Amino acid sequence: MFDNYDRNIDYLRVSVTDKCNLRCKYCMAEEGIEDSSHANILTLGEIVGLVRVAACVGIRKVRLTGGEPLVRKNITKLIAEIAKIPQICDIAITTNGMLFADMAEELSAAGLTRVNFSLDSLEADRFRYITSRGNLSDVVRSITKAMEMGMAPIKINTVVMKGINDHEILAFVELAKKMLLHVRFIEFMPVGNLPFYKTDRVVTVSEIREIIEHKYELYKGAVIQGNGPAKSYQIRGGMGTVGFISAMSDHFCGECNRIRMTADGKLRSCLFAKEEFNLRLALQNHASNETLADIFSKAIREKP
Ligand SMILES: Nc1nc2c(ncn2[C@@H]2O[C@H](COP(=O)(O)OP(=O)(O)OP(=O)(O)O)[C@@H](O)[C@H]2O)c(=O)[nH]1
Ligand SMILES: C[S@@+](CC[C@H](N)C(=O)[O-])C[C@H]1O[C@@H](n2cnc3c(N)ncnc32)[C@H](O)[C@@H]1O
Ligand code: SF4
Ligand code: SF4
């Protein structure tokens, strides 16, 4: 369905939980998410029902995210149910990769089509520092597993932060050169754990590109399957690609194609929108599918 700015909104990001097994400094405070806020989350059945309604107003791609989607109980069942919705042609997850390796076979069998891993450091100590509790080896095992299973494209999301991991930019490019991986450098945004956000920690995409292009030649190659805002480039002589998500310096709102649903059933038409549409309340009031579809349509039409 097209919004008031003529953008085709066909991509729904579904947060299946606010909880996470990591505490990335830029995303979540050490104390994590209060349990009380967790009591109000949508059931798996409710999520499937809502995705079905969303499919009727033009949603074709679903990405499960969070929090960490793989800590949600029965996530495989959820994927299997969403995969049965005929209009949905792409079911992806964005994960920190801690639990993926052991779940990969069942997720794939359930109908998962793609996986994006978040990985901000290739150095074990620094990875532990950024995530407060993660093991780099678990994520490496997961990425390796996804490659062995032939999942494609496999994307790596790297938030670049000055003084934290910006010295690793070339190491990530080298990784994408040697392996069929698609590394996307993301500009640090003022979302998540705001006390950690500082403007002088932002490294812009043009700064990142300058560092890379001193050593590597980037060129426009084949389009990588995806629905997101990354601009991707082939590396001369390399297997994978590097991409850039310039959320701060060159925002991509004009091409935005997504809406998002929170774990507690709020529909948000923009990452930064204040307005929320309360789907869970509508469900509690026994709203019909037509009423729910009207809520989705309104959120899409009025997307900022
Ligand atoms: N400003 C903005 N940034 C976003 C939005 N969605 C995702 N991002 C950023 O883009 C990064 C990558 O998002 P992913 O969850 O991997 O999804 P994607 O890039 O849409 O995925 P593909 O379909 O594979 O292209 C996230 O880590 C965010 O930093 C959005 O709606 N607005
Ligand atoms: C919130 S996480 C949820 C999914 C999963 N737990 C993961 O880390 O992949 C989704 C993505 O948002 C990114 N992200 C979180 N906070 C961010 C920030 N302040 N700036 C830029 N990206 C951010 C993460 O790096 C990750 O790639
Ligand atoms: S970025 Fe992902 S893994 Fe890190 S704390 Fe946030 S939700 Fe958890
Ligand atoms: S800020 Fe809002 S409109 Fe812009 S790309 Fe993100 S979700 Fe889309």
The residue segments making up the domain with residue 77 are 11-301
The pLDDT score that the predictor gives to residue 245 is 94
Name the residue with tokens 């290739």. Answer: 122
pLDDT band, residue 36 (cuts 50/70/90) = low
Q: Is the pLDDT of residue 39 over 90?
A: no
Question: Is 5 part of any domain?
Answer: no
56 is in an annotated binding site: no
Q: Between 7 and 223, name the one with better pLDDT.
A: 7
Sign (positive/negative) of CA torsion 302, 270, 186, 208? positive
Residue range 263-280: mean pLDDT, rounded: 94
Question: Is 3 part of any domain?
Answer: no
Interatomic CA distance for residues 161 and 181, integer angstroms: 21
The 10s digit of each residue's pLDDT in 52-69 is 999 999 999 999 999 999
Q: Is the pLDDT of residue 227 over 80?
A: no
pLDDT band, residue 250 (cuts 50/70/90) = confident
Which of 195, 128, 135, 191 is closest to 164 using CA atoms? 128
Question: Is 102 part of any domain?
Answer: yes
Ligand 1 pocket, mutate which of 116, 248, 251, 253 (most atoms under 8 A from CB): 116
Q: Is the pLDDT of residue 282 over 70?
A: yes
Q: Is the pLDDT of residue 253 over 70?
A: yes
Question: Is 2 part of any domain?
Answer: no
pLDDT band, residue 279 (cuts 50/70/90) = very high
Helix, strand, or coil here: 281? helix
The pLDDT score that the predictor gives to residue 224 is 82
The pLDDT score that the predictor gives to residue 242 is 97
Residue range 146-172: mean pLDDT, rounded: 97
Mean pLDDT of the residues in the chain: 95
Question: Is 212 part of any domain?
Answer: yes
Q: Between 222 and 124, name the one with better pLDDT.
A: 124
Interatomic CA distance for residues 251 and 261, integer angstroms: 21
Residue range 276-286: mean pLDDT, rounded: 97
Sign (positive/negative) of CA torsion 42, 44, 46, 48? positive
What's the chain's Rg over C-alpha atoms?
Answer: 19
* Residue 253 CA, closest ligand 4 atom number: 4
Q: What's the number of domains the chain is made of?
A: 1
The pLDDT score that the predictor gives to residue 37 is 62
296 alpha-carbon distance from chain centroid: 21
Residue range 154-177: mean pLDDT, rounded: 98
Residue nearest to atom 5 of ligand 4 (CA): 253
Residue range 102-115: mean pLDDT, rounded: 97
pLDDT band, residue 195 (cuts 50/70/90) = very high
Q: Between 249 and 17, name the one with better pLDDT.
A: 17
Residue range 95-107: mean pLDDT, rounded: 98
Which of 173, 259, 182, 274 is closest to 216 using CA atoms? 173
Sign (positive/negative) of CA torsion 80, 141, 68, 64? negative
The pLDDT score that the predictor gives to residue 248 is 86
Question: Is 184 part of any domain?
Answer: yes
Question: Is 201 part of any domain?
Answer: yes
The pLDDT score that the predictor gives to residue 35 is 65
**CATH number where 207 lies:** 3.20.20.70
Asked if 20 contacts 71 with a C-beta cutoff of 8 angstroms, the reply is yes
Question: Is 163 part of any domain?
Answer: yes
Ligand 1 contacts CB of residue 96 (under 6 A): no
Residue nearest to atom 7 of ligand 4 (CA): 270
Question: What pTM was estimated for this model as a whole?
Answer: 0.96
pLDDT band, residue 223 (cuts 50/70/90) = confident
Ligand 4 contacts CB of residue 300 (under 6 A): no
The pLDDT score that the predictor gives to residue 33 is 75
The pLDDT score that the predictor gives to residue 32 is 80
Interatomic CA distance for residues 201 and 160, integer angstroms: 8
The pLDDT score that the predictor gives to residue 38 is 65
